[in-house]
Amino acid sequence: MSTSTLKPPPAPQAPAERPRRSLAETVFRVRELSIGGALVLLILGTWLANPSFLDSQGVKDLLLNSAILVLLATGQSVVVLTRNIDLSVGSVVGLSAFACGSFVSGSDHSAVTVLLLGTGLGVLCGLVSGALVSFGRVPALVVTLGMLYVIQGIGHAWAHGDQINAADVPQGVLDLGSGSVLGVPYLPLISAVVLTGTAYYLRTYRGGRELYAIGSSPEAARLAGIPIRRRVLAAYAFSGAVAGFAGALWLARFGTVVADAANGWELTVVSAVVVGGLAITGGVGTVWGAALGALLLTTIGSALVVLKVNPFWEQAITGVLLLAAICADRVVRHRTTEALRKRRRP
């Protein structure tokens, strides 16, 4: 008598679950959307009060005015993600603009040469700051504040009160600042390319994810074998490169420059980054948020001019937005921590 063993049919496989977005990422994505919504409301409100705000020339001026600030915010974001800060970007822009102007004054050098010169000078400044912060272990606030004054001193000693005039700058360089393609100026397109490339690197490549890890927990990043010093040095070199590149674009945009061009912009750049959702304590935020913050601050300044409001209110509004962003960051961090605790409970 033979017996047969019947095998039970295989259980149906459950459909693969989509990876859920982390709670913190969702919260800060909502913050970026809220900044974008505030920007849209500001533009619409100003347009209703003065329809010329959104005419072809008004939109072009808004794009040009925000291009360099978006660039600087992009570079600053990479440093802030590592729980550091770079207060020397404004002085690097001024030195780069004056150096590039002095180099091409009365010559026929191309715009590419000017951009390479400005970028190289910025990288040099960034490497000095990054080496002192990462290898010298000097606080970033002290190092970059000192670099700000050192670079400003070098610029003033070099210039001796002189300025670069637009008449001495080659036309090819000036065309970079005033030219356009399909009606869109070159400068915003360049800023968009740098912004997109940086965002892609931070999200896709291992080096970008390690910057987030360093800012989130330096001790955990060290235990994980992440080369913290090299990453921080690279972040400062990138910030310096972007600032030097922006200095060359400053020359192309305005033509006439002095040694202290972009004086005071370092605080505006930091404000744009923080308002854009990047935590000053590092590890949280995106360069897209920083770009939105830069656009918001630039639009506020342009709107006040169009509405004929005292320019003093631009600084006051920027200060209020900065304090509100810091307070919101603290509240979001606290609520996110509490929500994660509840999830871990059985």
Domains of the chain: 26-338 (1.10.3470)
Say whether pLDDT at 69 is over 90.
yes
Q: Find out whether 109 and 103 touch, Cβ atoms under 8 Å.
A: yes
With a pLDDT cut of 70, the percent of the chain lying above it is 85
Range picked from 8-22, 167-181, 189-203, 297-311 for highest mean pLDDT: 189-203
Stretch 269-278: mean pLDDT: 88
Residue 17: per-residue pLDDT: 39
Q: Find out whether 65 and 265 touch, Cβ atoms under 8 Å.
A: no
Residue 338: per-residue pLDDT: 64
Handedness of CA 268, 25, 63, 49 (dihedral sign): negative
Say whether pLDDT at 345 is over 70.
no
**Higher-pLDDT residue of 266, 193:** 193
Pick from 213, 214, 273, 256: nearest CA to 89: 273
pLDDT band at 1 (very low <50, low <70, confident <90, very high): very low
pTM value? Answer: 0.84
Query: How far is Cα 48 from Cα 33, in angstroms, rounded to an integer?
Result: 23
What confidence tens digit (pLDDT) does each residue in 99-143 have?
A: 999 888 877 788 899 999 999 999 999 999 999 999 999 999 999
What confidence tens digit (pLDDT) does each residue in 207-237 have?
A: 999 999 999 888 999 999 999 999 999 999 9
For residue 158, how many other CB atoms are within 10 A of its CB?
13
What confidence tens digit (pLDDT) does each residue in 75-88 have?
A: 999 999 999 999 99
pLDDT band at 335 (very low <50, low <70, confident <90, very high): low
Say whether pLDDT at 333 is over 70.
no
**Higher-pLDDT residue of 88, 316:** 88
At 35, phi and psi to the nearest 5?
-65, -40
Say whether pLDDT at 259 is over 90.
no
Average pLDDT of the chain is 84
Residue 261 corresponds to which tokens in the numbers above?
Answer: 């061009």
pLDDT band at 8 (very low <50, low <70, confident <90, very high): low
Concatenated DSSP letters for 265-323? Answer: HHHHHHHHHHHTT--TTSS---HHHHHHHHHHHHHHHHHHHHTT--THHHHHHHHHHHH
Stretch 283-294: mean pLDDT: 89
